[in-house]
Amino acid sequence: MKRNIAVIAGGNSSEREVSLRSANTVLEHLDKEIYNPYLVEIKGKTMCAVLDGNQYPIDLNDFSFSKDGEKIVFNYAYIIIHGTPGENGILEGYLKLLEIPHSTCGVLASSLTFNKFMLNQFLKSFGIRIADSIMLRKGDVITAADVVEKIGLPCFIRASDGGASFGTTKVKEPEQIEQAIAAAFKESDEIMIESFMQGIEVTNGYYKTKKREVFLPVTEVVPKRDFFDYEAKYNGAVEEITPARIPDELRDRIQKLTAAIYNIVGCSGIIRNDYIITSGNKINLLEINTIPGMTETSFIPQQIRAAGMTVKDVLTEIIENSFNQ
């Protein structure tokens, strides 16, 4: 019997449209011979299955929906929400209560990785190299002089729990700081001011099942804009080189570090870590993406293809891992 797979997308953040684009890729590549895939869209407080343009409310008591008198119960959730409530542990907590397996990290790992400032402090205790930063919550006051003294310029001002670079500003002059802080607070009640690191930006995907671990190729990221912002990530304003033009020894170190962070945090499913390589081939973590983009032009599909695999086979491997003993 085919498994009913809910591909959960949408959400309530600025990344909603990106999530829906990622969901289209997942739905297209899921193996229809063994799965019945359905788009389940979250918007506001509503969760609906979407079939042929029609919406069918999800019964939250057992994660099911009814269509033409037939009740369809989901066996698995493939979460592709970038931002809340899919990337911060909220949705994972709901699914855990119902004992429904899903594609992403558990509640703790999702919550931790969603808050970039807290994650950075945690990983620093394990010796992971990370940029210096300070955190602000709404109501906190900081002067431009304080930022320059503590962090220096240029710096990045961003939401602590956002993604896709929404609300992120690269600040080069003290006069830009106040406006950049205001832009970041539009995305989140908690923001971070992070020091700038000069170097080569790379990104690396990884996943692990009960049977094996898979090190995906490293991609070099060369933005055509000032930094890797939304336009670069999703509208082509970037050169992406897979495999990255780096020595094999450095590639191996990056892949091993990605696996180590995966295990330290307690991740599940497929992740993508972003790094910057500074002078002396020092590897500095920028962030962990526990629900990386899955549009056709996103890094993970690119890296899967470069590794000689197919997106369909990888999705199957991740889903079936939840059912393998």
DSSP secondary structure of 81-94: --STTTSSSHHHHH
Grouping H, G, I as helix, E, B as strand and the rest as coil, residue 235 is: coil
Q: Which of 195, 216, 248 is the last residue of a domain?
A: 195
Q: Is 136 helix (H, G, I), strand (E, B) or coil?
A: strand
Total structural domains in the chain? 3
- Report the alpha-carbon distance of residue 264 to residue 124 in Å, rounded: 12
Pairing of the two strands 3-10 and 76-79: parallel
Clarify whether residues 270 and 124 are in a common domain: yes
Query: Of 84, 102, 120, which one is at a domain's C-terminal end?
Result: 102
Regarding whether 188 and 122 lie in a shared domain, the answer is no
Question: Cα-flanking dihedrals φ and ψ of residue 89, to 5°?
Answer: 100, -15
Q: Are residues 116 and 147 in the same domain?
A: no
Q: What is the pLDDT of residues 141-163, one digit of tens each?
A: 999 999 999 999 999 999 998 65
| Residue 141's CATH number | 3.30.1490.20
Max alpha carbon distance in the chain (Å)?
65
Q: Same domain for 13 and 158?
A: no
Q: What phi and psi values does residue 309 have, to the nearest 5 degrees?
A: -110, 175
Predicted local confidence at residue 162, as pLDDT: 64
Residue 62 belongs to domain with CATH number: 3.40.50.20
Same domain, 267 and 118: yes
**Residue 85 phi, psi dihedral angles, 5° rounding:** -100, 15
Alpha-carbon distance of 320 to 314, in angstroms, equals: 10
**Which amino acid is it at 320?**
E
How many residues are present in the chain?
325
Please report the pLDDT score of residue 14 as a whole number: 81
Tell whether the torsion through CA atoms of 79, 84, 161 and 170 is positive or negative: positive
In this structure, what are the phi and psi dihedrals at residue 186, rounded to the nearest 5 degrees?
-70, -20
Specify whether 63 is located in the same domain as 205: no
Q: Quote the pLDDT of residue 316.
A: 98
Are both 189 and 210 inside the same structural domain? no
Q: Which of 68, 64, 81, 77 is nearest to 37 (CA)?
A: 77
Give the position of tokens 């993604």. 163
Name the pairing type of β-strands 3-10 and 35-43. parallel
Q: What are phi and psi of 156, to 5 degrees?
A: -110, 135
Host domain of residue 210:
111-128+198-321
Cα–Cα–Cα angle for 296, 51, 44, nearest 5°? 80
Q: State the residue for tokens 């909603």.
A: 16
The pLDDT value given to residue 236: 60
| Whole-number pLDDT of residue 166 | 76
Q: Are residues 157 and 184 in the same domain?
A: yes
Please tell me whether residues 309 and 205 are part of one structural domain.
yes
91 and 227, same structural domain? no
Give the end of a domain, one of 195, 222, 239.
Answer: 195
> Do 266 and 117 fall within a single domain?
yes
Regarding whether 237 and 157 lie in a shared domain, the answer is no
What are the pLDDT tens digits along the chain (325 aa)? 899 999 999 998 888 999 999 999 999 999 999 999 999 999 999 999 999 999 999 999 999 999 999 999 999 999 999 989 999 999 999 999 999 999 999 999 999 999 999 999 999 999 999 999 999 999 999 999 999 999 999 999 999 986 546 789 999 999 999 999 999 999 889 999 999 999 999 999 999 999 999 999 999 999 876 655 555 455 566 899 999 999 999 999 999 999 999 999 999 999 999 999 999 999 999 999 999 999 998 999 999 999 999 999 999 999 999 998 6
pLDDT at 224: 76
- Assign 11 to helix, strand or coil: coil
pLDDT at 226 (0 to 100): 64
